[in-house]
Structure 1
Amino acid sequence: MTGRITIVLFTTLDGVAQAPGGPEEDPAGGFPYGGWQAPLFDAVVGEQIGTEIAKIDALVLGRRTYDIFASYWPNHTEGEGDGAIGRKFDEIPKYVASRTPLEPEWRGTTQLGPDAAAEVAALREKHENIQVIGSVDFVHTLLAAEAYDELALWVYPIVLGQGKKVFPDGAAPANLTLVAPAVTGTSGAVLLRYAPAGKPTTGDMSAPDRGV
C-alpha cells in the first residue's frame, strides 16, 4: 500500500493560516483576528470539504487542533452535515503531534513520537488517504521535510497583515505544481491544490530565448 498525505489549510491572501475557526483557536502572539473565516461562510467550500473528508481513512493533527477537535466532534455525530463529519472522525485513526504527553479520551488516538514527520510519512504504508487539517505549526515541519503529497489551500479574499503564515520567512525553498483545476466558492475563496516538485531553479527573463 502506498497512501497519500494531503495537507488542508485555510489561508488569507497574504498567507496567514492562524486561527481561522474562532477567537480562542490560537491566540499566540496576541493574534487579534481569530475566527476570520467565519464571516466568509461558503456552502461550496463546506460541500467540497465534506466530500474530501468522507474519503479519508486517517487524520493527522497538531496538539492544539486535536484538543479543539476532541472537545467538539465526538459530541456531534448525529444527522448529516457536521454529524457525518463527526462520525467519520470518530471511526478513523487519529495521529497527534505533541511535545507533551497525551492522555486521549477520544477513541482511535495515537500520539506520534519525537520524529513526527517521519512517522507521518510512514503512514502511507498503513492508510490510503491521510489528511492533515489545520495545525499550521506542525504543517511547517511537514512542508520542510516534504512529508506530504498534496497541499490543498483554501485562499480567502482577506488580508490580515499579521499571524502565522503557511510559508513564513525561512521556509524551505520548494517548487510546487498545480495538480487540479481551481475550485471557487461563493465567498471568493479559491481552492488551489499543489504537489511538491523539487527545489527552485533560477533563470534570466531577458535571455534571448525568452524573446524579451
Structure 2
Amino acid sequence: MSRIVVQEFVTLDGVAQAPGGSEEDLADGFEHGGWQMDYDAVHDRDDEGGPIIMDWESRTEALLLGRKTYEIWAGAWGVWDEHEPGSMGELTRTYNRVPKHVASRTLTELGWKNSHLLGDDVPTAVQKLREEPGGEIRVWGSLNLIRTLGAHDLVDQYRLAVYPIVLGTGKKLFAEGFRTSTFDVVESRVLKSGVIITVLRRRNE
C-alpha cells in the first residue's frame, strides 16, 4: 500500500502560499512571495534544511499535484537540466522520472512526461493510488487538493517546516472549513535557523 505524504513550508499563522518565489502565486494580491527562500537566505546560510528536504524527497515514488502547482512545476522542474550538479539536478531527475498524478477540472492534456489526469472523481482515484503497492506519493503546494484529501481522510502524514514568521495574509494549509482533525506528533525538532520540523500523522479516533 502506498502513502500520501503532504510536505509544506508554512508560517506561524499557517500560510503556505508561494514560499519559493515572488511570482509563484499572486492570487488575491499576495505580496509576500518567496518568504521561505528569503528567510533561509538570511537565517540558514549553512543550509541545514537542504539535507532534510533531500532526505524526504529520496522517498518520493510519485507526485500528486493540483493544477496550479502542476503548471508551476512543469514550467520549472519539467524543463530544467537534469545534468545540473548537486540537488538541482538530482531533484529534476527524480521529478521527471516518477509518475505525476494531477487533479484538474480544466486541463485536458499534460505536457510533462509521465503525467496523468486523475479524472472527475479525485477522492476515488487517490484512494486507488493508495491501495496500489508502492512508497510515498508526495504532495507539495496544492492547497485546494489537500483540503479535498483531508475531507476524505486520504492524507497519511504531514511533514511541515514551520517558519517563525507571521505574514497576516495568504492561503493557509488548514484554512477555515478544513475537516476537524487530531494528530500524533511523529517527530519535532528545531533547526538552528529557528525553523521547526514537525511530522504529523492523523490520529484514528
> Of 61, 64, 87, which residue of structure 1 is paired with 2:65?
61
Q: Which residue of 2 is the match for residue 187 of structure 1?
A: 193
Q: Which residue of 1 is the match for residue 10 of structure 2?
A: 11
The SS at the match of 1:187 is: coil
> Of 114, 117, 120, which residue of structure 2 is paired with 1:111?
117
Task: Tell me which stretches of 4 or more aligned residues in structure 1 moved more than 6 Å.
Answer: none
Q: For the pair shown, which has the larger CA radius of gyration, 1 or 2?
A: 1
Q: Which residue of 1 is the match for residue 129 of structure 2?
A: 123
Q: Does 1:135 align with 2:142?
A: yes
**Where do 5+ consecutive residues of structure 2 fail to align?**
none
Within-5 A mapping of 1:140-151: 140-151=147-158
Which one-letter code corresponds to 1:71 in the other structure?
A: G
Does the aligned pair in 2 maintain the 1:3–1:124 contact within 8 Å?
Answer: yes
Alignment TM-score, normalising by the size of structure 2: 0.90
Between the aligned partners of 2:171 and 2:16, the Cα distance in structure 1 is: 6
Task: Report the Cα offset of residue 186 of structure 1.
Answer: 3.2
Does the aligned pair in 2 maintain the 1:174–1:198 contact within 8 Å?
Answer: no
Between the aligned partners of 1:76 and 1:12, the Cα distance in structure 2 is: 31
Task: Report the Cα offset of residue 67 of structure 1.
Answer: 0.8
> Of 82, 92, 95, which residue of structure 2 is paired with 1:86?
92
Task: Report the Cα offset of residue 160 of structure 1.
Answer: 0.5
The SS at the match of 2:77 is: helix
Q: Does 1:48 align with 2:52?
A: yes
**How many residue pairs align between the two structures?**
197
Between the aligned partners of 2:34 and 2:25, the Cα distance in structure 1 is: 10
Between the aligned partners of 1:11 and 1:76, the Cα distance in structure 2 is: 28
Q: Percent identity?
A: 40
Between the aligned partners of 1:8 and 1:172, the Cα distance in structure 2 is: 18
**Where do 5+ consecutive residues of structure 1 fail to align?**
200-212
Which one-letter code corresponds to 2:138 in the other structure?
A: Q
Between the aligned partners of 1:198 and 1:165, the Cα distance in structure 2 is: 24
> Of 151, 164, 180, which residue of structure 2 is paired with 1:173?
180
Do the aligned partners of residues 121 and 45 (structure 1) sit closer, same or farther apart at CA in structure 2, a change above 3 Å counting? Answer: farther
Q: Which moved more, 1:133-142 or 1:85-94?
A: 133-142
Which one-letter code corresponds to 1:27 in the other structure?
A: L
Q: Deviations over 1:33-65 (max 9, x none)?
A: 111111122412221111111111111111111
Between the aligned partners of 1:96 and 1:44, the Cα distance in structure 2 is: 31
Task: Report the Cα offset of residue 187 of structure 1.
Answer: 2.2
Q: Which residue of 2 is the match for residue 154 of structure 1?
A: 161
Between the aligned partners of 1:142 and 1:133, the Cα distance in structure 2 is: 13
Task: Report the Cα offset of residue 90 of structure 1.
Answer: 0.6
Alignment TM-score, normalising by the size of structure 1: 0.88
The SS at the match of 2:71 is: helix
